[in-house]
């Protein structure tokens, strides 16, 4: 009786091994080539708030801050209006305004990049869309393929090629 149970168990094991695993496995996470040439990537992407646009905006705020500060008598009584100390005071005060602005713009950019993940049902759909919209894609764009819980990919450049790599 014991031999029959062992033989039956072995037969079941052999049958399962020949059929493979019964549950579906998630596809192997690998790098996918979007284009062999990464030139032109992002050339038609919107300017957004980040990068040079954010710095120009913050520079303008700093300039306005300095002009306003320079026109007024400093709140510190020991600093005479129009003096070198007044200039240093305004420069220091407005540098803080500039740095705060940059931090806020970077945070806005981070929030936007989280919202801008692209979602596709299959890898073929993702690669097809990315190839057709190469000039609109920004490096670092997050791409979700499959279900919501699927592990994300990112658009990156490797060896001059534009690729979709697992994060």
Q: What's the Rg (C-alpha) of the chain?
A: 29
The reply to whether 9 falls in a domain is no
pLDDT of 51: 55
Domain extent, residue 72, equals 18-166
- pLDDT, tens digit, for every residue of 97-113? 999 999 988 887 776 66
The reply to whether 159 falls in a domain is yes
> What is the tally of structural domains in the chain?
1
- Please name which of 44, 61, 54, 52 lies closest in space to residue 134, comparing C-alpha atoms: 44
The reply to whether 121 falls in a domain is yes
* Cα–Cα distance, 63 to 68 (Å, whole number): 9
The reply to whether 7 falls in a domain is no
pLDDT of 115: 58
pLDDT of 21: 45
Consecutive H or E run containing 66: helix 52-71
Are residues 155 and 147 in contact, defined by beta-carbon separation less than 8 angstroms? Answer: no
**CA dist list (Å): 155 to 34, 99, 115, 129, 131:** 9, 30, 15, 12, 11
Q: Whole-model pTM above 0.75? A: no
The reply to whether 161 falls in a domain is yes
């Amino acid at each position: 009786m014991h031999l029959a149970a062992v033989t039956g168990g072995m037969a079941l094991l052999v049958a399962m091994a020949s059929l493979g695993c019964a549950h579906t496995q998630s596809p192997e996470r690998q790098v996918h080539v979007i284009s062999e040439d990464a030139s032109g990537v992002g050339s038609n992407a919107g300017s957004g708030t980040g990068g040079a646009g954010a710095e120009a905006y913050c520079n303008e705020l700093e300039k306005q801050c300095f002009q306003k500060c320079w026109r007024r008598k400093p709140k510190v009584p020991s600093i005479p209006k129009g003096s070198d100390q007044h200039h240093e005071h305004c420069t220091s005060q407005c540098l803080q305004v500039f740095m705060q602005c940059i931090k806020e713009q970077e945070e806005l950019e981070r929030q936007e990049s989280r919202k801008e993940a692209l979602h596709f049902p299959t890898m073929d759909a993702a690669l097809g869309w990315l190839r057709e919209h190469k000039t609109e894609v920004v490096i670092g764009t997050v791409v979700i393929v499959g279900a919501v819980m699927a592990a994300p990919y990112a658009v990156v450049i490797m060896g001059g090629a534009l690729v979709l790599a697992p994060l």
